Amino acid sequence: TMAGTVSGLPAWASVLGIYAVQVALSYIVPSGSGQAALALPILIPLADMVGVTRQTSVLAYQFGDGFSNILTPTQGYFMAALALAKIPFAAWARFVFPLQSIWLAAGGALLLIAHAIGWS
């Protein structure tokens, strides 16, 4: 279970783990509401168990969903826009990867700050 996996970790590492799960899940479930319905009923109680505030867990969901939207090949409208612009996905991915990396790192840093100040 997820709880058993993260129970021995420090809370700050659990925050980053929740964020990583959200980022990965956003590539599988591109719908923000679908992702919320799938993940939050699991991640909110998990956050309670490992000492992460609920608001920080929801922020991890928001960052994971939001930052991935410019690089999610499973979103129909995104792929249609690339096709209309005649931009191959591989070229787009190479172009946006540096920005995506910055956003993901900034999201992780902001989540650690939210956890450190006990944001709720």
User: Rounded to an integer, what distance in angstroms lies between the CA atom of residue 120 and that of residue 118?
Assistant: 6
- pLDDT tens digits, residue range 39-80? 889 888 888 888 899 999 999 999 988 888 888 888 888 899
Above 80 in pLDDT, residue 113?
yes
DSSP letters spanning 19-81: HHHHHHHHHH---HHHHHHHHHHHHHHHHHHHT--HHHHHHHHHHHHHHHTTS-TT-HHHHHH
pLDDT in tens, 95-112: 999 999 999 999 999 999
Residue owning tokens 């168990």: 49
What is the three-class DSSP state of 2? helix
pTM equals 0.86
